Amino acid sequence: MERYVTLPGGEKVAALGQGTWFMGERRDRHADEVAAIRLGVELGMTLVDTAEMYGDGGAELMLGEALDGIRDEVFLVSKVYPQNAGFKGVQAACERSLKRMKTDRIDLYLLHWRGGTPFEETVRGFEALQEDGKIRNWGVSNMDTDDMEELLEAQGGENCTVNQILYNLTRRGPEYDLLPFQQKTEIPIMAYSPIEQGRLPRTGALAEIGAKHGVDPFTIALAWLLRRPDVIAIPKATNPDHVRTNRAAADIVLDAEDLAALDKAFPPPTRKRPLEML
């Protein structure tokens, strides 16, 4: 099953993509990482997320090889450090990322987290990159509701395309106010660490529902995220079996009984919690 999320500009992107955090750090894993990304794209996980921070540029270098010959099939996301998010800094950082990834454009460029640079200045840098064709869309990451409200009031802030946050079954805090706010403003969420970097329990409700659907418990955790039409999930995988386990989530539709069992095991928030980060 192909699942998509519609961005504010109308473009549709894969709801189940691929992350690259902790990739590009070890030469002995390079070939496996390249192969995993290419397999994921082949299986329809065509949104690929990275950042200049990952492996100190190593993940972007890895993607430069992984996307060779298939770049046009991929919706490529990268992120800029807050310390590089000034008007000129963001442009220089983007150029370095483009060079590492051997591409002429980034489809979505995100501010990795909030630093000391005013939003207006970063947005102005993003807009200059858009005018030059270096990036196609821009967004943010790790922004809570008050940050998003401030961003949307800044000049040009209404053009934000995505907010990438920590969101999974054990990190449901954003459901209290951030997700409703973004639903109202029609800005999708991109969920990083969607299986809590493998720390979600493999027993209990996830295991039972996985057995019912004939899939891995973590596949159910991903399918739970995909239940929402405004959430993009970006799990990481470095071997073929793991890639296929992730991909299976797009074919799972959880029923009301499944969702109730997951709510019981992983209760939704009843009050505001500060946005968590990893």
From first CA to last CA, the distance across the chain in angstroms is 31
Q: Which residues are catalytic?
A: 54
- pLDDT tens for 204-217 read 999 999 999 999 99
Average pLDDT over residues 173-195: 97
Under 8 Å CB-to-CB from 13, ≥6 apart: which residues? Answer: 4, 5, 7, 46, 47, 75, 232
With b for 16 or more beta-carbon neighbours within 10 A and e for fewer, the 166-201 pattern comes to bbbbbbbbbeebbbebbeeeebbbbbbbbbbeeebe
Residue 2 has pLDDT above 90, yes or no: no
DSSP-derived letter for residue 244 is: H
Under 8 Å CB-to-CB from 7, ≥6 apart: which residues? Answer: 13, 137, 161, 162, 188
The model's pTM is 0.97
Average pLDDT, the chain: 97
Residue 1 has pLDDT above 80, yes or no: no
- pLDDT tens for 23-71 read 999 999 999 999 999 999 999 999 999 999 999 999 999 999 999 999 9
Residue with tokens 């807009």: 127
Supply the CATH classification number for the domain 4-265.
3.20.20.100
Average pLDDT over residues 232-253: 96
Joined together, the tokens standing for residue 29 give 């894993």
Query: Residue 151: is it exposed, middle or buried by C-beta count within 10 angstroms (0-12/13-18/19+)?
Result: buried
| Separation CA 186–CA 42 (nearest Å) | 29
Domain boundaries, the chain: 4-265
Nearest residue to 101 (alpha-carbon basis) of 90, 93, 111: 93
Contact 119, 151 (CB under 8 A): yes
